[in-house]
Amino acid sequence: MSYNTCILYTDNYPAARLEIILLDGKINEKISNRVFIATLPKSIRKQDLNYSSPDKPNNLEDTSTQAIQRWKRSFEFDFLEEDGFFKIAGVY
């Protein structure tokens, strides 16, 4: 099975975490209570997710925004948008 690694946003981390696991994915890193990195099967589309989204919410607090920016700067990877997911190039 092929996988994608992506940045996801949520308002309900416990429910999002469970959903990712039930979809045969995994949480790679929790950046904040609202932002995390997950690996999901390539067959999963953003419409399949009920508790998280690859779309950055307008009401994301500054601490989460700063945390994700620090996390991105810590890598030499490129970030690609594909199928509505903000994916980490070279990780999938």
The residue range of the domain holding 16 is 3-88
pLDDT per residue as tens digits for the range 30-74: 999 999 999 999 899 888 999 999 888 999 999 988 988 888 777
pLDDT per residue as tens digits for the range 15-33: 999 999 999 999 999 999 9
Full-model pTM:
0.79
How many domains does the chain contain in total? 1
Q: Distance between CA atoms of 74 and 43, rounded to whole angstroms?
A: 28
The SS3 assignment for 66 reads helix
